[in-house]
Amino acid sequence: MAVYTEVSDAALARLTQLYDIGPVTALKGIAEGVENSNYLLTTANRPYILTLYEKRVNPEDLPFFLGLMDHLAARGLTCPTPVRTRDGKLLVELEGRPAALVTFLDGVWLKSPEPRHCRAVGAAMATMHKAAAGFDIPRANALSLNGWRFYAGKLTGQADGIKPGMAALITSELSHLERHWPRTLPAGVIHADLFPNNVFFLGDRLSGLIDFYFACNDLLAYDIAIGLVAWCFTNDGQWDPASAAAFVEGYHAVRPLQPDERAALPLLMRGAALRFMLTRAYDWLHTADSALVKRLDPGEYFAKLTFLGGISQPEHLGLGA
């Protein structure tokens, strides 16, 4: 939830000179997304999302993010399409910040997804993985093993204050994951944040994917693992094998999983749960006094990680071949 930067009358006027979109008929701050300032911007022709990138986004990453959306949209994936300026640019400067205009995607995100939705999300993720092939800007995943070690260090002495037992869990999981993390599975561009709020549906039909601002190069199966921890626990925290099986089946139908990818899923899911526990715990400590950011509960991922730590076989999660 966030609008940090206001768009002045002069900046709005300049925007309509930069882009060939006609007069702006509405501009409203959107209370979604915690990283950037997002506006619904409408013209007589259609709605757009205007994003001003705030300080948590590295400007050097923007050609990757915008180029990826452009690449995926050109290959038929329904995702926001960056709009080019009159002189062909995807990125502009507005109010002293990098900014981009992308098309508005119809759809509503699901607060209580069911297995049929998880199947559609798995299929869409696989479609994205395949469509991203050939995209040639690299971006390392800053939130993989090395990044987890970094965040763990930042939480030293404070983790147990968030949740008793969190410090020991971080230590033991990091140690286990560093010893066993796979290195040889198929890799490519992953979304890395495909949570329910980043997937839109129109009725039961998946209408598109949004928010590629964590996308990076990593193991494709790690993206599936993120999807499983994000989609396949019920809202009251129970593991739902039917949703998980549907997610993986949906994926497999579009991009068949190798046996070693499937076998690695329980471990990769522990990594995914640790990743979100760590960043949420860090944000919990560091945005306490912020007036504009809604903090996400690290305890949710503490519970998920504790559950997953006891499981090593995909069959025990309902993920057998």
Interface positions with a second copy (CB under 8 A): 1-3, 6-10, 12, 23-32, 40, 42, 104, 106-108, 110-112, 200, 202-203, 289-295
Measured CA to CA, the distance from residue 230 to residue 239 in angstroms comes to 11
Within 8 A by CB and 6+ apart from 286, the residues are: none
Beta-sheet strands, E only, within 179-253:
187-190, 199-202, 205-209, 216-219
Measured CA to CA, the distance from residue 310 to residue 306 in angstroms comes to 7
Measured CA to CA, the distance from residue 75 to residue 160 in angstroms comes to 46
| Longest CA–CA separation in the chain, Å | 59
Q: Which residues pair with 208 in a beta bridge?
A: 200
Cβ at position 268, least distance to a second copy in Å: 28
Other C-beta atoms within 10 Å of 178: how many? Answer: 12
CB closer to a second copy, 110 vs 132: 110
Cβ at position 77, least distance to a second copy in Å: 19
CB closer to a second copy, 5 vs 217: 5
Cβ at position 222, least distance to a second copy in Å: 28
CB closer to a second copy, 28 vs 286: 28
CB closer to a second copy, 108 vs 253: 108
- The two beta strands, 97-103 and 47-52, are antiparallel
Cβ at position 6, least distance to a second copy in Å: 7
Cβ at position 38, least distance to a second copy in Å: 8
CB closer to a second copy, 11 vs 145: 11
Measured CA to CA, the distance from residue 298 to residue 278 in angstroms comes to 7
Cβ at position 236, least distance to a second copy in Å: 14
Measured CA to CA, the distance from residue 25 to residue 14 in angstroms comes to 15
CB closer to a second copy, 31 vs 74: 31
Please state whether 208 falls in left (phi above 0), alpha (psi between -120 and 50) or beta. left
